Chains A and B, each alone.
Chain A
Amino acid sequence: EIVLTQSPGTLSLSPGERATLSCRASQSVSSNYLAWYQQKPGQAPRLFIYGASSRATGIPDRFSGSGSGTDFTLTISRLEPEDFAVYYCQQYGSSPPLTFGGGTKVEIK
């Protein structure tokens, strides 16, 4: 089973700043099959990125994903108020099981 470790646990930033979220896998993720989800309090998760770098429908271009192998990054170029949330990475290159990281909370500083 591939274990995903996200860092930092919490990121405190101001609107307009750049956010860099990390997701590290315990072994190489096949074909860069890595997705990112956003979850706001009381809501279901929402798909943001798949294939490590492809944005899902309707996701603004200030969100970008990158990385390969065991190291992946989600970058938010300029934080908007609606971007403050928890972000989870998930691998689907080696399944079952599908596995998630523990999440990174992006909070307003």
Chain B
Amino acid sequence: EVQLVESGGGLVKPGGSLRLSCAASGFTFSDAWMTWVRQAPGQGLEWVGRIKSKTDGGTTDYAAPVKGRFIISRDDSKTTLFVQMNSLKTEDTAVYYCATEFGGVMTFWGQGTLVTVSS
């Protein structure tokens, strides 16, 4: 059974940093493209970015609002996905979900972790 468990969310001040983790199990993590999607309170879904598998280059793509501030990485030995979030803004407040991505489709999702950016 595929399991994705996010952690690391919390309250942070504007301009601060936070690192989220997503522990994966139940599938071959090293072969998977992984994606972060966020959802602001009461709002819709917003793609944050992705990291490809190392066999596909291991490269990353980001949404415009987070490019240059967020860094997505992976540790295949620990089957864990990360996102380092820097220079946080109030508009980054959201539940952050990690998901497996297959050909652009988010096939499995974690339960999410809440990030609140507030002074």
Contacts and interface: CB of A to CB of B under 8 A. Distances in A.
Nearest to B49: A96
A96 B50 contact: yes
Nearest to B64: A97
Contact of A47 (B37, B45, B105, B110): B105
B46 interface: yes
- B interface secondary structure, majority: strand
B44 A101 contact: yes
B103 interface: yes
B104 A95 contact: yes
A33 interface: yes
A48 to B, nearest CB: 11
A92 interface: yes
Contact of A45 (B61, B64, B97): B97
- Give the size range of A's interface with the partner: 20 to 34
Contact of B105 (A50, A102, A103): A50
B47 A44 contact: no
Contacts, number: 60
B2 to A, nearest CB: 11
B22 to A, nearest CB: 12
A97 B60 CA distance: 11
Given A96-B62, A100-B44, A102-B44, A37 B106 contact: yes
A61 to B, nearest CB: 19
A99 B109 contact: no
Given A88-B44, A96-B50, A100-B44, A47 B61 contact: no
A86 B103 CA distance: 23
Given A35-B105, A37-B45, 14 more contacts: A35-B104, A37-B106, A44-B97, A44-B112, A45-B45, A56-B107, A90-B45, A92-B105, A96-B61, A96-B63, A97-B47, A98-B35, A98-B47, A100-B47
